[in-house]
């Protein structure tokens, strides 16, 4: 079967791409604005470069055309924290995808504990085994309701239990696989 993307609408293209380009970890992003901690998952996420250390995450706009809270907070405050969820956090990750008013914190609403690890960056999910502390670089205009955001990784938190004696990192991140989530063991050297 050959699918012609020119004949598909944006939703069909999104579903086709997000259900076939996998596994990829979920970018579970915390941002802050006016003391409200926002937490939301994004499945269009991948490393972009290691020198400089860049990642890219595509964030959509709300139905009314306004940027989603995560994007608005990144553009305003120029920082975010990307958390990696493991299987024990799957329900929290799914819950945090619910659209809430900007003045309502998903962390408070769903009782997801966070902890402040680095000054100048939003808190991380307390039970996450790994988190990236990122600064905004730029957005890329691709002419759609999705806005790819390039972020530079400035620091990384990794739970000591997830690093072996040789310095290898072992994580079991939740990744997007079609409409399901996958817990996959990943080894990074």
Residue 43 CB neighbours (<10 A): 21
pLDDT digits 0-9 by tens, 96-132: 999 999 999 999 999 999 999 999 999 999 999 999 9
What's the predicted TM-score (pTM) here?
A: 0.84
Backbone torsions φ then ψ of 75, nearest 5 degrees: -65, -35
Q: What is the pLDDT of residue 176?
A: 67
Q: What is the pLDDT of residue 96?
A: 95
Share of the chain above pLDDT 90, in %: 55
Average pLDDT over residues 142-146: 86
21-188 CATH, one of 3.40.50.2300, 2.30.110.10, 3.40.50.2000, 3.10.20.70? 2.30.110.10
Nearest to 131 by CA among 139, 141, 121: 121
The tokens for 38 are 């926002």
Average pLDDT over residues 49-61: 90
Asked whether residue 21 carries a pLDDT value surpassing 70, the answer given is no
Residue spans of beta strands (DSSP E) within 14-111: 24-25, 27-33, 36-42, 45-50, 53-60, 79-84
pLDDT digits 0-9 by tens, 77-100: 999 999 999 999 999 999 999 999
Confidence tier at 178 by pLDDT (50, 70, 90): low
């Amino acid at each position: 079967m050959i699918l012609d993307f020119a004949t598909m609408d944006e939703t069909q293209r999104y579903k086709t791409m997000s259900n076939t380009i996998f596994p990829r970890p979920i970018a579970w992003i915390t941002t802050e604005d006016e003391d409200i901690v926002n937490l939301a998952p994004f499945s269009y996420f991948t490393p972009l470069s290691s020198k400089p250390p860049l990642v890219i995450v595509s964030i959509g706009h709300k139905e009314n055309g306004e940027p989603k809270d995560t994007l608005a907070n990144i553009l305003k405050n120029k920082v975010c924290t990307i958390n990696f969820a493991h299987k024990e956090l799957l329900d929290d990750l799914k819950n945090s995808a619910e659209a809430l008013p900007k003045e309502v914190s998903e962390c408070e609403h769903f009782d997801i504990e966070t902890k402040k690890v680095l000054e100048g960056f939003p808190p991380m999910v307390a039970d996450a085994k790994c988190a990236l502390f990122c600064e905004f670089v730029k957005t890329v205009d691709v002419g759609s309701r999705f806005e790819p955001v390039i972020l530079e990784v400035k620091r990384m938190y990794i739970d000591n239990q997830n690093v072996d004696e040789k310095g290898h990192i072992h994580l079991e991140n939740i990744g997007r696989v079609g409409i399901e989530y996958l817990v996959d063991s990943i080894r990074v050297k």
